[in-house]
């Protein structure tokens, strides 16, 4: 990412809002933590002054944001197989394999998707995500397979992030859930927040949670399980996993939200799910540079097909 500066004019005072939170709502491709670090390092100033991240924006203030040149990526390029569904000079869309960690973190410094992307793209990835996540525009759990879009430059990254924030993309998933669903289709509207005691989990929380909406339809009823298609209308962490657990039909193989139900499924059918059976099947969005509508589809993974063979009613 090359060095550049931007200016934001505050039109309305926000007495109850922090500066880092306010800027996160404007620069949606950048994490709040990254913005906070830029403020603390003096790269973001208000009326020419260094302030704290807790500063509340006031009407008439001019916020100058200096984007420093990205440091070289800390992850090392690795030659790894990638299933590419679409690629041009601005972006690529992958069919992510299950079991692959997306970006380096403690305990996973090698063999991640970022390592493979650094090799494939020869370092030409957007820098907005920071040195740990070059090119990564949106989240994908380790055990979730399917469509994942990657930005090769900052302009593309920002434009894609805006589409995610505006919910103008279409995100369609396939899931095999525990239990036989009676309803043919439905909608789940349930706010999601961090679990109050288990900090690595999310939970439905209508008081403190953020709005979350998922619609679904049953594709096939299986033995003690159901194959569903789910459309993600918002993008909360673990949204589909939490919503289907809340509905009483958690995703088979989910060690966080469906351990007991997955064990019961094995008792009833003899089938042991190898991972959470969730697949990002289709992704539709507008190409930021060309304006072309792209519709990508990730083929069904082998373990999904194996699960269907094992659970189909005779």
pLDDT, tens digit, 9 for 90 and up, residues 4-38: 788 999 998 988 889 998 998 888 767 777 888 88
- Kindly report the pTM of this predicted structure: 0.77
Contact 41, 51 (CB under 8 A): no
141 catalytic residue (yes or no): yes
Question: Per residue in 32-58, pLDDT tens?
Answer: 778 888 898 899 999 999 999 999 999
Tell me the pLDDT band of 68, cut-offs 50, 70 and 90. confident
Tokens matching residue 171: 């995100």
Rounded to 10 degrees, the C-alpha dihedral 15/18/207/169 comes to 120
Residues paired with residue 225 on neighbouring β-strands, in sequence order:
178, 222
Q: How much is the average pLDDT of 233-262? A: 96
pLDDT above 60 for 151 = yes
- In the predicted model, is pLDDT for residue 232 greater than 70? yes
pLDDT at 230: 98
Rg, C-alpha atoms of the chain: 21
DSSP 145-164: EEEEEEESSHHHHHHHHHHH
Q: Is the model's pLDDT at 196 over the cut of 90? A: no
Top mean pLDDT of 128-132, 194-198, 255-259 is at 255-259
DSSP 129: T
| Residues whose CB falls within 8 Å of the CB of residue 239, separated by 6 or more in sequence, listed in order | 192, 202, 212, 214, 232
Annotated catalytic residue within 90, 141, 254, 303: 141
Residues ≥6 apart with Cβ < 8 Å to 306: none
Query: 269-304 pLDDT, tens per residue?
Result: 999 999 999 999 999 999 999 999 999 999 999 999
């Amino acid at each position: 990412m090359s060095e550049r500066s931007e200016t934001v004019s505050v039109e309305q005072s926000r007495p109850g809002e922090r500066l880092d939170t306010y800027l996160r709502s404007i620069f949606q491709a950048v994490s709040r933590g990254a913005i906070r670090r830029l403020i603390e390092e003096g790269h973001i100033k208000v009326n020419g002054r260094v302030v704290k991240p807790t500063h509340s924006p006031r009407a008439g203030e001019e916020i100058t944001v200096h984007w420093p040149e990205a440091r070289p990526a800390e992850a090392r390029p690795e030659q790894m197989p990638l299933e590419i569904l679409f690629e041009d000079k601005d972006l690529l869309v992958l069919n992510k394999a299950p079991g692959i960690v997306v970006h380096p973190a403690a305990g996973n410094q090698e063999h991640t998707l970022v390592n493979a992307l650094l090799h494939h793209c020869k370092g030409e990835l957007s820098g907005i995500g920071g040195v740990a996540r070059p090119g990564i525009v949106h989240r994908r759990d380790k055990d979730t397979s399917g469509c994942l879009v990657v930005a090769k430059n900052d302009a593309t990254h920002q434009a894609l992030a805006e589409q995610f924030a505006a919910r103008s993309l279409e995100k369609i998933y396939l899931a095999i859930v525990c239990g036989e669903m009676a309803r043919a289709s439905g909608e789940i509207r349930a706010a999601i927040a961090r679990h109050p005691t288990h900090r690595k989990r999310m939970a439905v929380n209508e008081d403190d949670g953020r709005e979350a909406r998922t619609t679904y339809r049953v594709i096939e009823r299986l033995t003690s399980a159901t194959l569903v298609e789910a459309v993600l209308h918002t993008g909360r962490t673990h949204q589909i996993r939490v919503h289907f657990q809340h509905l009483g039909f958690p995703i088979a193989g989910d060690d966080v939200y469906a351990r007991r139900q997955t064990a019961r499924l094995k008792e009833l059918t003899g089938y042991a799910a190898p991972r959470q059976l969730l697949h990002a099947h289709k992704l539709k969005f507008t190409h930021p540079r060309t304006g072309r509508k792209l519709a990508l589809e990730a083929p069904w993974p082998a373990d999904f097909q194996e699960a269907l063979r094992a659970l189909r009613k005779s």
